[in-house]
A and B are shown apart, each in its own frame.
Chain A
Amino acid sequence: MLNYFISRIASACVVILGVSCLVFFFIHLIPGDPIEVMLGESARPADREALRQALGLNQPILTQLGQYLSNLSQFDLGRSLHSKQAISSLLWERIPATVELALSGLLVALVLAFPLGIIAALKRDTAWDHSAMTVSLLGVSIPNFWMGPLLILAFSIGLGWLPVSGRDEATSIILPALTLGTAMAAILSRMIRSTLLEVLGEDYIRTARAKGLSSYQVVLRHALRNAMLPVITLIGLQLGTLLGGAVITEIVFAWPGVGQLTIEAIQKRDYPVLQACILLISVSYVVVNTMTDLVYGALDPRVRLNES
């Protein structure tokens, strides 16, 4: 058990180190001179030199990497080129909004996915199943950046029930959460359907039915519980998609989170902020995935035995 936990955490640390190195190299992917791109052609040579020194771009690349990693280990993410604010404080301002959006999106996804998946599995190959799966496929095929405007057209402009954008009112979260949650609901419901179908074919389900349990009890107490493990993993994996999708959803709804900060950083060519945002989102994703793995290992002894 302990070995399994240690090996998962060690492998997550290696991945985080790799991600940090890759994010470091972003600035070197800028075509031409990154300083000229950031400051513009009209910048004075003295300003350019100052920025080059501040970013350490005049050093050999390995020294730069070492410096970058050493700063990161002290949670020093540098300063924004635009506002001169410390990047860590910029991120702290934005994190609550993104966490709120991601959790609400997750809630929407779970509320939609479970009924759809269960109905589709129980009524396999009927009109119910086909409609549930078509709805879910539709959910995967509608991009976030179109779903958002559609919901705004219907509920904000058409019915006037909900605010169009921003985070000023309590109801502001509803449309962004629906936008973000539907795609995940679509993927989850398909997974719930297929794992439930697999479990429903098992011997112990036949035994439970033979004992005379109602199909409600069979599904909730016997089938769903065993079908949950792969679903938990998928939820962990999908949280990543949720975080990626949050970037677009935040732009559509002017939601003041890390995603919006990312795109603002790209537009203002504020590359240190961009690096920090990408790093933050990816590291959170790795942490969530590792935690999912650990939970999975704790719940299912076969996983940790296989790994060791």
Chain B
Amino acid sequence: MIRDSLSIGVIAVWVFAALFGAYFGLSPYEIDLPSILTPPNSQVWLGHDDLGRPLFDRLVEGANVSFTVAVTVVIISSVMGTLIGTTSAYFGGWFDHLIVRIIDVLLAFPGILLAIALAGVMGPGIENVVIALSIVGWVGFARLSRAQVMSVKHRDHVVAANALGSTRTTIIFRHLIPLILAPLMIEATFGIASVILAEASLSFLGLGVQPPSASWGNMVRDGTRYMLVAPHMVLMPGLAIMMVVLAVNLLGDRIRDRLDVRIKENNEK
């Protein structure tokens, strides 16, 4: 219970900072040379960075970047992936074979490697990060929705809808997709966590958000150069990433426990 409230609290703070941080008169770009590398103190909670900019303000700016990228990528990849996976399973035949092969090929790139390669080739910038992560992200949704539709497409109500003359579009959108929403929601929640990590990793490698814009990833990158004299520059953004990703993962676990019928049945046994 405490765990749930904590994770929802952390996510709420993150979303609030991302959406409304800009209205609080923060100054993430204001350089103040006398304050360079100041450690956290009572006046400036999280200290200053190597250019004397307040870390707290930059973290809030970074929250906006990571939230925007995470939500955009998950929306694009879930819609794209679900549509492709569902139609592929429903229609079958050569189209299904082709989609399965494409999924296989894309899954052959381990972890974040394809996103690194795409971002590296397309050039840095937030738009390219979104494109690269969406190209990688839709595959998981497509594979999941394809497998789910395969298992429900012969159910009686789908056969009945077919017999009653429903169009294919109606069958897909009214009779198939609603049935597979639960696992897709779980995938989307975990997807948010992995996109936050992936965006931060790309920015850490210098392939994502570019300075002077703040991203949690490029803040860690800047911090690694000053670890001896200002460890707070590495600690603070990393802590932010860890807390948000942990909270989203915990929430995902909880949603899975609630929605996943298989787990419930096992527990009842």
A141 touches B238 (CB 8 A): no
B121 touches A247 (CB 8 A): no
| Set of chain B residues within 8 Å of A11, measured between Cβ atoms | 104
A251 to B122, CA, bound (A): 21
| Set of chain A residues within 8 Å of B111, measured between Cβ atoms | 240-241, 243-245
A278 touches B250 (CB 8 A): no
A286 to B108, CA, bound (A): 6
Interface residues of A in 120-147 (CB under 8 A from B): 137-138, 140-146
B71-112 CB mask vs A (1 if < 8 Å, else 0) is: 000000000000000000000000000000110111011111
Q: Quick check: which of A69-77, A150-158, A291-299 contacts chain B, the rest being far away?
A: A150-158
| Set of chain A residues within 8 Å of B101, measured between Cβ atoms | 14-15, 18
Interface status of A285 (Cβ within 8 A of chain B)? yes
B113 touches A271 (CB 8 A): no
Interface status of B269 (Cβ within 8 A of chain A)? yes
| Set of chain B residues within 8 Å of A281, measured between Cβ atoms | 109-110, 113
Interface status of B116 (Cβ within 8 A of chain A)? yes
A153 touches B122 (CB 8 A): no
A145 touches B113 (CB 8 A): no
Interface status of B231 (Cβ within 8 A of chain A)? yes
A146 touches B242 (CB 8 A): yes
- Which residue of A153, A243, A265 is within 8 Å of B113 (Cβ)? A243
| Set of chain B residues within 8 Å of A103, measured between Cβ atoms | none
B231 touches A153 (CB 8 A): yes
A98 to chain B, nearest CB (A): 12
Q: Quick check: which of A25-33, A206-214, A219-227 contacts chain B, the rest being far away?
A: A25-33
B207 touches A146 (CB 8 A): no
A143 touches B109 (CB 8 A): no
| Set of chain B residues within 8 Å of A157, measured between Cβ atoms | 227-228
A244 to B228, CA, bound (A): 28
Interface residues of A in 76-98 (CB under 8 A from B): none
A63 to chain B, nearest CB (A): 21
Interface status of B206 (Cβ within 8 A of chain A)? yes
- Which residue of B118, B200, B266 is within 8 Å of A143 (Cβ)? B200
Interface residues of A in 252-299 (CB under 8 A from B): 252, 262-263, 265-267, 271, 274, 278, 281-282, 285-286
| Set of chain B residues within 8 Å of A143, measured between Cβ atoms | 197, 200-201, 204, 238, 241-242, 245
B104 touches A27 (CB 8 A): no
| Set of chain B residues within 8 Å of A140, measured between Cβ atoms | 245, 249
| Set of chain A residues within 8 Å of B114, measured between Cβ atoms | 278
- The closest CB in chain A to the CB of B204 belongs to A145
| Set of chain A residues within 8 Å of B237, measured between Cβ atoms | 146
Q: Quick check: which of B30-38, B161-169, B216-224 contacts chain A, the rest being far away?
A: B216-224
A265 to B121, CA, bound (A): 10
A245 to B235, CA, bound (A): 20
With known contacts A137-B246, A149-B227, A247–B108 Cβ distance under 8 A: no
Interface status of B234 (Cβ within 8 A of chain A)? yes
- The closest CB in chain B to the CB of A16 belongs to B108
- The closest CB in chain A to the CB of B221 belongs to A145
| Set of chain A residues within 8 Å of B223, measured between Cβ atoms | 149
Interface status of B211 (Cβ within 8 A of chain A)? no
A266 to B123, CA, bound (A): 9
Interface status of A201 (Cβ within 8 A of chain B)? yes
A-B contact pairs, 16 of them (CB 8 A): A11-B104, A18-B104, A18-B108, A22-B105, A26-B121, A137-B246, A137-B253, A143-B197, A149-B238, A239-B110, A244-B113, A247-B116, A251-B205, A263-B120, A266-B121, A285-B109
Residues of A bordering B, CB below 8 Å = 11, 14-16, 18-19, 22-23, 26-27, 29-31, 137-138, 140-146, 149-150, 152-153, 157, 198, 201, 239-245, 247-248, 251-252, 262-263, 265-267, 271, 274, 278, 281-282, 285-286
Residues of B bordering A, CB below 8 Å = 101-102, 104-106, 108-114, 116-118, 120-123, 193, 197, 200-201, 204-207, 217, 220-221, 223-224, 227-228, 231, 234-235, 237-238, 241-242, 245-246, 249-250, 253, 266, 269
- 6 more A-B residue pairs beyond the given contacts A144-B201, A149-B220, with a C-beta to C-beta distance below 8 A: A30-B122, A137-B246, A138-B246, A201-B269, A281-B113, A285-B110
